Amino acid sequence: VMPENVFYFGEIPLAEYGLPGSGDLVEKTARFFSTHDAVLMANHGVIIGSATLRDAYMKLELAESYAQTIAVCEVLGGAKYLTNEQAKEIIALKN
């Protein structure tokens, strides 16, 4: 939907539900951080990993803005998602 989110996140994976504060939830989210900076935790919210607090905050703000945009798009008739080819072109800009 938004090229900047593809650029910063690629995708935001969804981790399975785990009991709040449990080791199970940690295991279900931690496995994504080798390849992603943001993970959506089922029935919880988003978690961000980063080297600095400032960068983590920026990414959290981007993820929240993206979620709000998707919600509004759905209310207004549906989001128009980027194709896989378009996403690959955006990701290639990083290199």
SS3 40: strand
The tens digit of pLDDT for each residue in 7-59 reads 988 889 999 999 999 999 999 999 999 999 999 999 999 999 999 999 999 99
| Torsional class of 77: left (φ above 0), alpha (ψ -120 to 50), beta (otherwise) | left
Q: How many residues does the chain have?
A: 95
CB count, 10 Å around CB of 66?
20
pLDDT band at 77 (very low <50, low <70, confident <90, very high): very high
pLDDT band at 73 (very low <50, low <70, confident <90, very high): very high
pLDDT of residue 94: 83
Amino acid at 78: G
